[in-house]
Amino acid sequence: MEERKRYSGKVDIGLKSPKYLVELAKVDKHFGSNHVLKGVSLRVKPGEVCSIIGPSGAGKSTLLRCVNLLESPDSGNMVVAGQYVDLARPLDKRSLLQLRRNVGMVFQSFNLFPHLSVLENISLPQRRVLGRSAEDAKAKSLELLERVGLADKAESFPSKISGGQQQRVAIARALALEPKAMLFDEPTSALDPELAQEVLGVMKEVAASGMTMLVVTHEMNFARNVGNHLVVMENGSIIEEGDPEQIMTEPKLERTKQFLSAVINH
Amino acid sequence: MSGFLAVLAAVPITLLVTIGAFAVGIVLALGLTFMRRSKQPWLRFPAQAFVDLARGIPPIVWLLFLYFGLGMGVIKLSPLQAGVLGLGVVSAGYLAEIFRGGLLAVHKGQYEAGEALGLSAWTRYSKIIAPQAFKAMLPALATYFIGLVKDSSIASVIGVKEMVFTANQYARRSDDGIYTFFLAAAIYIAVSIPFAVVARRMETKLQESAK
């Protein structure tokens, strides 16, 4: 209510975008009779690394997937990189592609295209989405492969490289489109700890480059040391939000304390 | 010997009916597949009904209907046209199911990755989904095609001069009798095997390239 009042001055949608790169207001979503997002509002500033944690089934991934409309919410409003979206209405194709152009995504299951080489995986979207020439796309791809430490794997097929390497390629593929924000949906959950570390290392580097990131994760060290905005979700709502260090050391809610001690001591 | 040559001379007609019906089937099945995946019920339901009818009515009835039934109206089809169209309609029903299976075999994450990257629907399907679905469908497509080589013989009932029609004609006129049909059977096998070999080669090649 308080926030509603704060923003109701100009436009009656509860949003004020320039200060924030990603802004969600009262996002509501059902899966059948299951109320998975209960009017969630979230603001992420440019360059911020926002980690979203919480028990499974809390709605973390669903919330993240609403940002690029892989899930369509029932209602709410959103501004992403200056583009306003009324979530209650279906978005036209053009605006949808525009939105996705601004937002990159990395999945838990990597989702590289298995019939294309590593290089083609990164180059094809650049050519199709940005209209880059084959040469420009290739140059950009190789530059990014260098950045994620996989220059020697350009010609490999995804099934021939490790999970951690696949995920680094997936990050490069998303970065190649020069998004304004990146979404990471449990990027290390399918990896064993050692491979997870190399992916986290790349993510840390991406964060350091100034990229705005929304990360659904169980990696508390990443959330604490790399993240500068922590969101705790439970049962379709954000229950606590703020500075990661502060929440991890002095959670306001008993529920947050419980959850943190469960994941940190496991 | 002349029976053999007569049946052999009918091989091009058999292949014409087979390939023609397969081509008609592929084109129709592509349309049906897009209709069935549409969000619009008025596209989905007719497509589903078409698939059910195409598969539910015996091919021979389709051919008789298209040849004699339509003939009573305005459109008059030649036996060959009716044969290709009729078997094409039946093929469309089966191929639409094969396409559906192929699309289902592609992991959901592939669709999502394509969407998240902002690729257009055309690019997603042509560059990402179709190549993977094709790989999954190839064995079923090859089996259907080889089956169609033989099933094209159904067109003999409306007078398409393919192998079985020719064998039948020859058997009645000569003393060879059933022997002519044995020859026809041998020729069917000789025609099918190269297709099977090509299909297996393609499969191996696809496995290697995408593995």
Cα separation, A251 vs A133, in Å, equals 51
Predicted confidence (pLDDT) per residue in B94-153, tens digit? 999 999 999 999 999 999 999 999 999 999 999 999 999 999 999 999 999 999 999 999
Name the minimum distance, in Å, from the CA of A112 to any CA of chain B: 7
> What type of residue sits at position A254?
E
- B51: nearest Cα among B31, B74, B66, B69: B31
Taking 50 as the threshold, does the pLDDT of residue B84 lie above it? yes
Cα separation, B129 vs A113, in Å, equals 9
Distances (CA, A) of A6 to A22, A24, A79: 18, 15, 17
Mutate to test the interface with B, among A128, A129, A132 (most CBs of B within 10 A): A128
* Element (DSSP H or E) covering residue A229: strand A229-234
Domain ranges, residue B183: 2-209
Query: CB-side exposure of A56: number of CA atoms within 13 Å?
Result: 3
pLDDT tier at A4 (50, 70, 90 boundaries)? very low
Range in A105-119, A214-228, B115-129, B166-180 with the lowest mean pLDDT:
B166-180
CATH number of the domain bearing residue B65: 1.10.3720.10
Quick check: A128 contacting B, CB < 8 Å?
A: yes
Q: Which residue do the tokens 């051919």 mark?
A: B63
Residues of B within 8 A of A173 (CB-CB) are 117
Whole-complex ipTM:
0.88
The one-character DSSP state at A84 is E
The string over B70-79, giving b where at least 16 C-beta atoms fall within 10 Å of a residue's C-beta and e elsewhere, is: eeeeeeebeb
Quick check: B132 contacting A, CB < 8 Å?
A: yes
Is B62 within 8 Å of B27 (Cβ atoms)?
A: no
Name the minimum distance, in Å, from the CA of B21 to any CA of chain A: 30
Q: Which residue do the tokens 């090509």 mark?
A: B198
- 3-state class of A83 per DSSP? strand
Predicted confidence (pLDDT) per residue in A141-191, tens digit? 999 999 999 999 999 999 999 999 999 999 999 999 999 999 999 999 999
Cα separation, B205 vs B211, in Å, equals 10
Sign of CA dihedral B143, B149, B154, B155: positive
CB pair distance less than 8 Å for B112 and A111: yes
Give φ, ψ of A226 to 5 degrees. Answer: -100, -40
Predicted confidence (pLDDT) per residue in B15-61, tens digit? 999 999 999 999 999 999 999 998 899 999 999 999 999 999 999 99
Report how many domains make up chain B.
Answer: 1
- Provide the whole-model pTM: 0.85
